[in-house]
A and B are shown apart, each in its own frame.
Chain A
Amino acid sequence: MKISELLGTDPGWLITVKALFIFVLCVLLTLVAIWGERRLVARMQQRLGPNRVGPFGLVQGLADGVKLALKEDLIPAAADRIIFVIAPIISVTACFLAFAVIPMTGVVYLFGHKTAMQLTDIPVGVLYILAAASFGVYGIVLAGWSSGSTYPLLGGLRSSAQVISYEVAMGLSLVAVFIYSGSMSTSAIIEAQHDWWFAVVLFPSFVIYMISMVGETNRAPFDLAEAEGELVGGFHTEYSSLKFALFFLAEYVNIIGVSALATTLFLGGYHALPGLTFTEQWWGGWFTMIWFLAKVVAFFFVFVWLRGTLPRLRYDQFMKFGWKVLIPVSLVWILVVATLRVLSQQNTPKAATLGFAAGVVILILAGTSLYERSQKKSKADDAIGEFPAPSFPVPQIPSQRAEQLHG
């Protein structure tokens, strides 16, 4: 029985329970993520990080949330009041929406009902996630615009430009996955990774997705929209209290969301690591959720690691990287993948397939070596010879003085 058929038999109460579960899981993960991120980054800087509230400071996120909620809720006089209130709600809603099609377990029994921990399974699940992510941009852009203030406007524009640019690369990186799995449904994509994870088979796609998901979530080193040194707080500069908390929540749920999507599309979703498949039967199948969460946490660690390591990119470098590197590379990669796929589907002899692959590799090598040579040439052109002596009086150069003194 396919997962989509299985989910189709869910009674209404079970769907409600699942929706509630997803909500609670996301909020809890956010609280733990805030704590985990601060502790990890602190460690990377040889600090201890928050350890005051609760055991190991675990409740720090909750304490911060309560503090935010109790703060004064300000709406600037110049703000567009209605949109100003709606914007954070859009942001939060959009990132929760994406979670509806993420499969978190295999087939399990929940209150005696055979189902899977996935709210729904639609044939265009991944497209739906991309749509939800794009929907979230409205929250950012409207927040920046409705604040009636300069920095939020600039931050909002930057942020939306960034998210839109990197969504293109992200979407393109997913195309190879669709081609290989022959489906856009998340559960079907996971099943297609039964033998090999797509992170291995489609490694370039995986790398491009990893980069663009950082750009998509406005995280360091791509956190230009919230560049503290340049734009105060970016689009949420004018926000305070619960509305700010909503943006905060949206940011972290978004990170967890793209990590969950990466897990689903490239790391085999809820399936166990190769060689440990017997664990999938533990706890009546519920152990698969541990695998899912472990993979998500691994991705989250990458986010934190990036933040702890890399400085922020300049805006033009960032855009150049997105449009001139990521998108062309993914386009070429898609062409290669599509050709290989067609070749294998039409039962072309192995030799032809291998020949094509070899041709591509040779082309890439030739291209890079030509590029490097042109780089070297332009560098040689850049080399600057001796400058002519200036026409105005200048103080003596110490080495010349030494020559004069010593002979």
Chain B
Amino acid sequence: MAENPITPRFPDLGLTAAAKAEKKIKGQELEAKSFFAQLQGFWVTFITMFKKVTTVNYPEVKEPTAERFHGRHQLNRYDDGLEKCIGCELCAWACPADAIMVEGADNTDTERYSPGERYGKVYQINYLRCVFCGLCIEACPTRALTMTNEYELADSTREKLIFEKDDLLGPMRAGMIPAPHPMYPGTTDTDYYKGAVTGPHPSQEVK
């Protein structure tokens, strides 16, 4: 490889190299490679034409993202269907772009969305502001908020890009019962956090 005239070969404060470079530029005498060495560039471009292209035919071909790609958020549920979000707003406070808006409310015995005292009544993420840094995920104390790998988040209006709680809530998996419903009898919110609840109580199951 040709020596870069700017980089000093010896630690002489770069004085020699700088003077050399200056003199070279003055005399228009840049280190010229042999003619055939210069032709190598043509071979590079020519052979590249027959190499596999690195780009993807995107809308038709969708490559999976990296495993931990930061995509659209998801609000998770416990295995019995109660929401994990406790409306603490830590995600909103952590957000550097001020993209998250949370309003918490109290759970009642008749209308319970999450184990414990509070739940997130309003939960909005504004994807026009979100920078997908993931600080909200780090802030969440109950792992209620995580990120999916979904990246197709384009839309035509600003309103459509403010995602509400319904848009963000994770899918109902088998055995889950949609909130609101009471907690598993005889458990506390701590049991939920520890993962002791693995499904709804038989009395709650929808027949």
Chain A residues closer than 8 Å to B52, beta-carbon distance: 46
Q: Among A85-93, A240-248, A292-300, A304-312, which stretch is in contact with chain B?
A: A304-312
Chain B residues closer than 8 Å to A399, beta-carbon distance: 10-11
Cβ B54 vs Cβ A47 within 8 A: yes
Say whether A379 faces chain B, with CB atoms less than 8 Å apart.
yes
Cβ B57 vs Cβ A382 within 8 A: no
Chain B residues closer than 8 Å to A44, beta-carbon distance: 45-46, 48-49
Cβ B51 vs Cβ A46 within 8 A: yes
Say whether A355 faces chain B, with CB atoms less than 8 Å apart.
no
Say whether B20 faces chain A, with CB atoms less than 8 Å apart.
yes
Closest residue of chain B to A394 (Cβ to Cβ) is: B13
Chain A residues closer than 8 Å to B55, beta-carbon distance: 46-48
Most central of B11, B12, B46, B49 by chain A CB within 10 Å: B49
* Shortest 6 CB-CB contacts between residues of A and residues of B: A43-B49, A44-B45, A309-B45, A308-B45, A46-B54, A47-B55
Kindly state the separation between the CA atoms of A394 and B14 in the bound complex, as whole angstroms. Answer: 12
Cβ B29 vs Cβ A305 within 8 A: no
Question: What residues make up the interface of B, taking CB atoms closer than 8 Å to A?
Answer: 10-13, 15-16, 19-20, 23-24, 27, 29, 41-42, 44-46, 48-49, 51-55, 57
Residue pairs across A and B with Cβ atoms less than 8 A apart, 23 shown, are A40-B49, A43-B48, A43-B49, A43-B53, A44-B48, A45-B48, A46-B52, A46-B53, A46-B55, A47-B54, A308-B45, A309-B45, A310-B41, A378-B27, A378-B29, A379-B29, A382-B20, A382-B23, A384-B19, A386-B16, A387-B15, A394-B13, A398-B11
CB distance from A398 to the nearest CB of B (A): 5
A384 and B20 in contact, given A46-B48, A397-B11, A397-B13 (Cβ under 8 angstroms): yes
Cβ A382 vs Cβ B49 within 8 A: no
A384 and B23 in contact, given A45-B48, A309-B41, A394-B13 (Cβ under 8 angstroms): yes
CB distance from A245 to the nearest CB of B (A): 28
CB distance from A98 to the nearest CB of B (A): 28
Kindly state the separation between the CA atoms of A36 and B45 in the bound complex, as whole angstroms. Answer: 16
Q: Interface size class for chain A?
A: 20 to 34
Kindly state the separation between the CA atoms of A44 and B44 in the bound complex, as whole angstroms. Answer: 8
Cβ contact of A47, chosen from B10, B15, B20, B53, cutoff 8 A: B53
Chain B residues closer than 8 Å to A47, beta-carbon distance: 53-55
Given A48-B53, A379-B29, 17 more contacts at CB 8 Å?
Answer: A40-B49, A43-B48, A44-B45, A44-B46, A46-B48, A46-B52, A46-B54, A46-B55, A51-B57, A309-B42, A309-B44, A309-B45, A310-B41, A382-B29, A384-B23, A397-B11, A399-B10
Within 8 A of B (CB), among A305-345: 305, 308-310
Cβ A305 vs Cβ B12 within 8 A: no
CB distance from A236 to the nearest CB of B (A): 27
A387 and B53 in contact, given A308-B45, A309-B45 (Cβ under 8 angstroms): no
Closest residue of chain A to B54 (Cβ to Cβ) is: A46
Kindly state the separation between the CA atoms of A158 and B12 in the bound complex, as whole angstroms. Answer: 42
Kindly state the separation between the CA atoms of A78 and B16 in the bound complex, as whole angstroms. Answer: 52
Chain B residues closer than 8 Å to A48, beta-carbon distance: 53, 55, 57
Cβ B11 vs Cβ A305 within 8 A: no
Kindly state the separation between the CA atoms of A399 and B9 in the bound complex, as whole angstroms. Answer: 12
Chain A residues closer than 8 Å to B24, beta-carbon distance: 382
Most central of A40, A309, A386 by chain B CB within 10 Å: A309
